[in-house]
Each structure stands twice: as structure tokens, then as C-alpha cells.
Amino acid sequence: MSDHKKILVTGSAGFIGHHTTLRLAAEGHEVMGIDNLNTYYSIDLKLARLRAQGIPTDRIEYHQIVEGKPGIRFMQLNITDGQKLEELFQRYQFDYVVHLAAQAGVRYSIENPHVYIDTNVKGFLEVLECCRRYHVKHLVFASSSSVYGTNDKVPFSEEDRTDQQVSLYAATKKANEAMAHSYASVYGLPVTGLRFFTVYGPFGRPDMALFKFTDKIIKGDPIDVYNHGNLSRDFTYIDDIVDGLMGVIPQIPHKDPPYSIYNIGRGEPVSLHDFIQSIEQAAEMKAIRHNLPMQPGDVEKTWADTSNLHNLNGYKPKTRMDEGVKCFVEWYKNYLGIH
């Protein structure tokens, strides 16, 4: 996307949303970020991301637009508020929408199911409706590798069946894919979904393994290692994710219906044992491991076949896990003032 576009990023105070907002603005686009700033995890981290975008967080008021770095605006807004969302679409006439807002977390969906339906299903419906009414050129939305559920064929391919999810979070993401396909079919709305695979990096979420493990290892506390460490994940560094996302936004699906779905991951699984070892090396400390059985709603392995995305825009992750983990640990120490 070489020319200037108006782009809405939902969930812009979230991990992927933050990095996407910065990249879009750096490339000269006009970005409106929205986020409800909920308290699922530390609001301080979300505010720190916004400050890194130049947003004066002391001036944030609900439904009020504040200016950040050149090309960045922010509004605290819940995507379930259809009226306010529509007012925003009407005012800015967005060219593209990058929908990353969601209630995240597999385990939390077991404890608090209603918020997943409200945000991930009802909220996505409001986004779809506004994109339809205001003729958005392309809606790109976040799905998840968790839609593959109990699929044991690896690597996971977009052509595999995805009808056996093992968590409500995963089920809402599968519902998003079905909803998006229906809007593409009925209204001709161009939509692309991205199935993210275990994203990590600076400003990452504190409920995810890298943040939790780093925090506990540095503090000398034991880490919970599920399934006795016999797990593997397709860990993908945030810069590689944003590279792929940026390549997808201008690639409007021109087919009937105008709908596409892509895996976006590194394309190689890493064992939990090796992942922990990388953190130990970067932190220069040994982990105290507390081995536990498999958790409900979890899966043993994720592994992305990214050939379709590579064929679309040349997507090819560059960051090795040891490099990415080192970058995170350095950020974490700086964020908490550890020297």
C-alpha cells in the first residue's frame, strides 16, 4: 500500500493491534485505533502501548478522540456499541478495517463464557454491519490457530476440517469465519481472515507463556509446565506477523464470494522444552519447573502450513526463536526497570 489510506484498527491497545498501528502510521496511513481497555489483564500495559503510540493517556475519555503520533488517533470504544461505532464509520469513511479486537484467552473462556459471545460474536457482527453499510474496500480480521481443535494432521492447512474446537474461545473464532463468509456471500463484502499462530514479542500479553515464564524465571518463582512439557507451538515473532498482515491488507479477494482465509505463523513447531531453554539463556537464569498434566481446552501441537500466504504476498518469517525471545526479555527488563 504505497498511497495514503484511512484505516480503522480495532483492539489497537492490544498486542498485535499496537504493533500494527505503529507500522501503518510509519508507512504514511491515517490510522484510527479503538479499544475498550478492559481489565482482562493489566490496564497499565495497554496504556503503555498507547503512550508508545504517542497517545496522551491522561486525556483519554470514553468516546472522545485523542491525537497521538503523526497519523494516529485513538478512541476508547467498545465494538459492541453499534451506534457509536457507526458514527465513527460515518465520520471517517474508512478504506480498510483491520479487526483485531477480541476477548482473548483459551482458559478464561472456560471461566467467563458470556464475555466471549458478547465481544467476539456480537461485537464482530457490529463491525461487519458497519463495513457493509459504509462500503469498506477490505475487512481483515483475526482468527486463530485454535479453530483447528482436535485436528491431528500436521502441518495445519486451510483446507483441513475445523469443526471440532475444544474451547469456547476457539468456537467464537470459528463463528467469526462463518459470519465473515456469509457477509462476503450475501453482500459482496471483501473479507480476509488470518489464523494467528502463538504470537510473541515486546509488549506481548501477560497471560501468554513467554511473559509468564520470563516473569517467574527472573523472580526465581517456579513455572507451571503443562503436559510435563510435551507440547509444541508454532511460535511467531510479532514483526513477522505484522509483515504478513501488511501484505494482506491491499490484497482484496476478487472472487465469488470475495472471502479468503490464511494461516499466519512461522511454519515450524518448537517444543516447550526448547522454548523454556531459550528464555533461560536470554535471562541468564535457570527455570524451576513445576510439571503438571494437560489443561482442559489445550492442544498438544500447533504447526502452520503458510504456503498459501507465501503464494499471495511472499510471506516468509525471518526471526529465529532465540532472537525473538532475547528481544522480548530485553523489553521486559526495560519495561519493569530491571537492570
Residues tagged active-site: 169
- Please classify residue 90 by burial: count the beta carbons closer than 10 Å to its beta carbon, then call 0-12 exposed, 13-18 middle and 19+ buried: exposed
Q: Which helix (H) or strand (E) holds 280?
A: helix 272-283
User: What distance in Å separates the CA atoms of residue 232 and residue 197, rounded to the nearest whole number?
Assistant: 12
C-alpha cell at 81: 456499541
User: How far separated are the first and last CA of the chain, in Å rounded?
Assistant: 40
Query: DSSP per residue over 23-82, as a string?
Result: HHHHTT-EEEEEE---SSS-HHHHHHHHHHTT--GGG--BT-EEE-STTEEEEE--TT-H
Asked if residues 132 and 191 have their Cβ atoms less than 8 Å apart, the reply is no
Distance (Å, whole) CA 93 – CA 96: 9
**Residue entry with cell 510435551:** 230
Strand 72-76 vs strand 65-67: parallel, antiparallel, or unpaired? antiparallel
